[in-house]
Amino acid sequence: MLELKGLSKRYPTGDLALNEVELSVPAGQVLALIGPSGAGKSTLIRCINRLVEPSSGTVTLDGQDLSSLRGKQLKAARREIGMIFQSYALVDRLSVMENVLSGRLGYMGFWRSFLRRFEPSDVQRACELLERVGLLAMLDKRGDALSGGQKQRVGIARALMQQPKLLLVDEPTASLDPKTSRQIMRLLVELCREQNLAVIINIHDVALAQQFVDRVVGLAAGQVVFDGKPDQLTDDTLTLIYGEEDWSAEREDDADSPDEDNDPLASIAKGAHP
């Protein structure tokens, strides 16, 4: 269980990016974090893994207060938090297998990681994960020889190699086409449910999030302004999160779009993009 209590962040520039955020995410729950640009989504994710120091409040993972950790303890706690990035963050010249295995580096001492001497059990797990994400046949390919969707599959496998308790996912589909985006979201959510992880996905595409996640949290000006099930997102709540917009007109305009026939909120999501 991840718990944020009274989490605030004021940058030295004076911007209050997070304002007393309260949020609990139980193991096994996949949560989409939505909101306009500048709402504080990235800051929230960065405060959880301490890439950004919160100004006040606490971040607790399974009872351990992460906000007070330093040095080795912080490193150990970070191992329990997997990250998946919009830009994939693979090492281009390394193979798919090496990229996935690098998810274990945080568990290894200096020399073992320097020499990349992985345990046989790590290699076994990497193979299992590569099979699960559909890339076992490509384990020898270089990172830079993959498509965007394949890179993100490697990113997912690498994050799961860490055996995290919590997964933080930053715009996982922003660089992908709509079909690949759905495949990646489906895979991500399936794997997280199988492994009973708490997951926060920072995502712009509201309709895509709605299809796959358990819960949606809307952030605006650093505050939680919506917290509910995906089907509770109405025009009013979207206005609350993103500001005034004629959502119904957006819906009518896009009613003929073949991709969005069964997905009326797809148009709302498009309208919501900054």
Q: Is 17 a residue that touches ligand ADP (CB under 6 A)?
A: yes
Among 30, 41, 149, 199, binds ligand ADP (CB under 6 A): 41
> What count of other Cβ atoms lies within 10 Å of the Cβ of residue 204?
20
H-type helices in the chain, by residue range?
41-48, 71-79, 96-101, 110-114, 120-132, 148-161, 178-194, 206-212, 235-242, 247-253, 265-272
Among 8, 10, 38, 174, binds ligand ADP (CB under 6 A): 38
Among 23, 31, 39, 217, binds ligand ADP (CB under 6 A): 39
By C-alpha distance, which of 94, 171, 111 is closest to 103? Answer: 94
- Reported residue count of the chain is 274
Size of the site for ligand ADP (CB under 6 A): 12
Least distance to ligand ADP, CB of residue 241, Å: 11
User: Which residue lies nearer to ligand ADP by CB, 42 or 95?
Assistant: 42
Whether the Cβ atoms of residue 271 and residue 245 lie closer than 8 Å to each other: yes
Identify residues 18-37 at the interface with ligand ADP (CB under 6 A): 35, 37
Q: Is 42 a residue that touches ligand ADP (CB under 6 A)?
A: yes
- The letter for the amino acid at 37 is S
Distances (CA, A) of 257 to 4, 247, 261: 40, 16, 6
Among 40, 54, 82, 103, binds ligand ADP (CB under 6 A): 40
Distance of alpha carbon 62 from alpha carbon 1, whole angstroms: 5
Least distance to ligand ADP, CB of residue 145, Å: 31
Q: Is 155 a residue that touches ligand ADP (CB under 6 A)?
A: no
User: Which residue lies nearer to ligand ADP by CB, 11 or 114?
Assistant: 11
- Per CB under 6 A, residues contacting ligand ADP are 11, 13, 15, 17, 35, 37-43
